[in-house]
Amino acid sequence: MNQKGGVGKTTVTTNLGAAIARRGYRVLLVDLDPQGHLTYACQLPENEQPATLAAALLGTYAGPVAELIAPWRERVDVMCTNVDMFLLERQLYQSRGMEMKLSRLLEKVTALGQYDVVLIDCPPSLGVLTDNALIAAGAALIPVQSEDSTLRALKLLLDQVRSIEDELRVAIELLGMVVNLYDKRKGRVVTSTLKALADMQLPILAVVDDRASIREAWRVGQPVIEYEPESPSAIAFHSLAGVLTGENEPLLAQVIDLDKAQRKAIPA
């Protein structure tokens, strides 16, 4: 999650999902963003009536949840979206337990017994959809860019997480940040912000450089670990997957020799 647009939420969801699957876990990606970028990035068709994610969340579709899910890569499936999601937010405000809808839906997914890991791609807002994702997941991973506005945006985000915890009496684990689109050639603002981020309470779990291979992989509907398996981007996602599955040590916040640290984390 991150209410800032374009920081890499969708990129992290698809690429991390693929890297976790490579470790043998069965992964479901959920496209909770009405923009549908995850669905498009995976080159999958939108949901069709009546089996849409919007209808399932509203409760007007009560059929098999498997109808909402399409296969993408080996061990990675996607719960796709469609344009009805744009209207959903307003409709949810009129329904009871509006923050719990995704939790209820994912209970049905759990009952299928087909997945070990679920990653939810949030829209760029702190609205009811993101609240649903937080509550369903009970944990948040935060892609950020290393730039001046990030620290303020992070403060808003952390306040929102705390207010949900207070109001709904749930616990949300903040897993950490993924610094994305990192380009140290852009100078001191970028490198000094990375230092400021490293000093925050939230751990930095990976640093993903700004690389053409990520955009190219997106364009052909592939995760970067397939598109360019040896690239630094692929290595960064393998490393992140290892940290989140508990198989690698978290990177030191000081990120002294990042490339070396991430390289050690490639699965056999």
Ligand X SMILES: Nc1ncnc2c1ncn2[C@@H]1O[C@H](COP(=O)(O)OP(=O)(O)OP(=O)(O)O)[C@@H](O)[C@H]1O
Query: Using CB under 6 A as the criterion, which residues of the chain lie in contact with ligand X when the complex forms?
Result: 5-11, 33, 35, 37, 124, 180-181, 208, 210-211, 214-215, 218
21 contact, one of Mg ion, ligand X, none, CB 5-8 Å limit per kind: none
Q: Which residues fall within 8 angstroms of residue 60, CB to CB, at 6 or more apart?
A: 50
Cα of first residue to Cα of last residue in the chain, in angstroms, is 30
Q: Which is nearer to ligand X, 165 or 226 (CB)?
A: 226
32 contact, one of ligand X, Mg ion, none, CB 5-8 Å limit per kind: none
Q: Could you tell me the smallest distance in angstroms from the CB atom of residue 211 to ligand X?
A: 5
Total residues contacting Mg ion (rule CB under 5 A)? Answer: 3
- Strands in 173-182's sheet, in edge-to-edge order, are 139-145, 173-182, 204-209
User: Interface with Mg ion by CB under 5 A: which range of 29-37, 42-50, 146-154, 191-199?
Assistant: 29-37
- Exactly one of 1, 3, 4, 9 binds Mg ion (CB under 5 A); that residue is 9
262 contact, one of ligand X, Mg ion, none, CB 5-8 Å limit per kind: none
CA nearest to 206, candidates 154, 151, 262, 147: 262
3-class DSSP state of 151? helix
Q: Positive or negative, the Cα torsion across 15, 49, 84, 161?
A: negative
Q: Could you tell me the smallest distance in angstroms from the CB atom of residue 212 to ligand X?
A: 7
Q: Could you tell me the smallest distance in angstroms from the CB atom of residue 14 to ligand X?
A: 8
Q: Note the Cα 169 to chain centre separation in Å.
A: 23
Q: Note the Cα 65 to chain centre separation in Å.
A: 21
